Structure 1
Amino acid sequence: MTSEGYTRFDEERWAPEPAKSSTRTAFQRDRARLIHSSALRRLGAKTQILVAGTDDFARTRLTHTLEVAQIGRQIGASLGCDPDVVDCACLAHDLGHPPFGHNGERALAEIARDIGGFEGNAQTLRLLTRLEPKILFPDGRSAGVNLTRASLDAVIKYPWTYADAANHPKGERSAKFCVYPDDREVFDWVRRGVPQRFARPIECQIMDLSDDIAYSVHDVEDAIATGAFDPGELRQSAVVDAVVEDARAWYGPQWNPDGLAHAFLGMLRRGTFPERFDGSRRALAELKNMTSTLIGRFADSVENATRDAYGNGPLARYAGNVVIPESTSYEIVVLKGIAVHFVMAPGELKPSYAKERRIIHDLTAMLMEGNPRPSNGLERVFLDDWREAADDAGRLRVAIDQVASLTDTSALVLWNTCRE
Structure 2
Amino acid sequence: MSPPRDPAPWAVRKESSRGRLHPEPESATRTPWQRDRDRIIHSSAFRKLQYKTQVFVNHEGDFYRTRLTHSIEVAQIARSIARQLGLDEDLTEALALAHDLGHPPFGHAGEDALAAAMKPFGGFDHNAQSLRVVTLMESRYAAFDGLNLTWETLEGLAKHNGPLHHPSPYVAEYDAVHPLELDGYASAEAQVAALADDIAYHAHDLDDGWRAGFFALADLQHLPVVGPALAEAERASLDVPPPRLRHETIRRVIHRMITDVVGETSRRVAVLDPASADDIRRASAPVVAFTAPMAEANRVIKEFLFARMYRHWRVNRMTAKARRVVAEVFALLHGHTGLLPDDWRARAGESGTARAAATVCDYLAGMTDRYARDEHLRLTDLSVSG
Normalized against structure 1, the TM-score is what? 0.77
Deviation at 1:158, TM superposition (A): 4.6
Deviation at 1:349, TM superposition (A): 7.3
Q: Could you say what secondary structure the match of 1:16 adopts? A: coil
Match 1:309 to one of 268, 280, 293 = 268
Gap runs ≥5 in structure 1: 166-178, 241-263
Q: Considering only aligned residues, what root-mean-square deviation do their CA atoms show, in Å?
A: 2.9
Distance (whole Å) between structure 1 residues aligned to residue 65 and residue 82 of structure 2:
24
1:236-293 deviation line (CA, Å, top 9, x unaligned): xxxx6xxxxxxxxxxxxxxxxxxxxxxx356535645877xxxx97322221121111
**Structure 2 partner of 1:331:** 297
Contact 2:136–2:146, Cα closer than 8 Å, also in 1: yes
Contact 1:154–1:200, Cα closer than 8 Å, also in 2: yes
Contact 1:153–1:190, Cα closer than 8 Å, also in 2: no
Distance (whole Å) between structure 2 residues aligned to residue 135 and residue 117 of structure 1:
29
- Give the letter aligned to residue 44 of structure 2: S
Is structure 2 residue 329 aligned with structure 1 residue 386? no
Distance (whole Å) between structure 2 residues aligned to residue 111 and residue 267 of structure 1:
38
Deviation at 1:351, TM superposition (A): 3.4
Q: Could you say what secondary structure the match of 2:57 adopts? A: coil
Normalized against structure 2, the TM-score is what? 0.84
Is structure 2 residue 172 aligned with structure 1 residue 213? no
Distance (whole Å) between structure 2 residues aligned to residue 272 and residue 384 of structure 1:
60
Identity of aligned residues (%): 31
**Structure 2 partner of 1:180:** 168
TM superposition outliers: structure 1 runs of 4+ over 4 Å = 158-161, 188-192, 272-275, 311-316
Change (3 A) 1:105 1:353: same
Distance (whole Å) between structure 2 residues aligned to residue 396 and residue 155 of structure 1:
24
Change (3 A) 1:83 1:309: same
Deviation at 1:30, TM superposition (A): 0.3
Distance (whole Å) between structure 1 residues aligned to residue 240 and residue 364 of structure 2:
40
**Structure 1 partner of 2:310:** 344
Contact 2:161–2:194, Cα closer than 8 Å, also in 1: no
Is structure 2 residue 190 aligned with structure 1 residue 204? yes
Distance (whole Å) between structure 2 residues aligned to residue 65 and residue 273 of structure 1:
28
Distance (whole Å) between structure 1 residues aligned to residue 276 and residue 81 of structure 2:
12
Distance (whole Å) between structure 2 residues aligned to residue 273 and residue 119 of structure 1:
40
1:156-208 deviation line (CA, Å, top 9, x unaligned): 235666xx44xxxxxxxxxxxxx53244242345544x4x8242221221111
- Give the letter aligned to residue 213 of structure 2: G
- Give the letter aligned to residue 17 of structure 2: D
Contact 1:96–1:122, Cα closer than 8 Å, also in 2: yes
1:64-123 deviation line (CA, Å, top 9, x unaligned): 100000000111122222111111110011111111111111111111111111011111
- Give the letter aligned to residue 294 of structure 1: V
Where do residues 113-132 of structure 1 align in structure 2 (5 Å cutoff)? 113-132=119-138
Deviation at 1:303, TM superposition (A): 1.1
Contact 2:43–2:138, Cα closer than 8 Å, also in 1: yes
Contact 1:298–1:328, Cα closer than 8 Å, also in 2: yes
Distance (whole Å) between structure 2 residues aligned to residue 317 and residue 354 of structure 1:
44
**Structure 1 partner of 2:29:** 23
Contact 1:202–1:319, Cα closer than 8 Å, also in 2: no
Distance (whole Å) between structure 2 residues aligned to residue 314 and residue 7 of structure 1:
18
Distance (whole Å) between structure 2 residues aligned to residue 28 and residue 93 of structure 1:
16
Distance (whole Å) between structure 2 residues aligned to residue 368 and residue 293 of structure 1:
48
Is structure 2 residue 8 aligned with structure 1 residue 6? no
Where do residues 5-404 of structure 1 align in structure 2 (5 Å cutoff)? 5-6=12-13, 10-17=17-24, 19-135=25-141, 137=143, 142-156=144-158, 157-158=160-161, 164-165=165-166, 179-188=167-176, 191-192=179-180, 194=181, 197-235=183-221, 264=223, 267-269=226-228, 271-272=230-231, 282-311=241-270, 317-320=277-280, 321-347=287-313, 350-370=316-336, 374-378=337-341, 380=343, 382-383=344-345, 385-387=347-349, 392-404=353-365
Range 342-351 or range 124-133, more displaced: 342-351
Aligned residues: 360
Distance (whole Å) between structure 2 residues aligned to residue 299 and residue 190 of structure 1:
34
**Structure 2 partner of 1:173:** none
- Give the letter aligned to residue 215 of structure 1: Y
Change (3 A) 1:182 1:225: closer
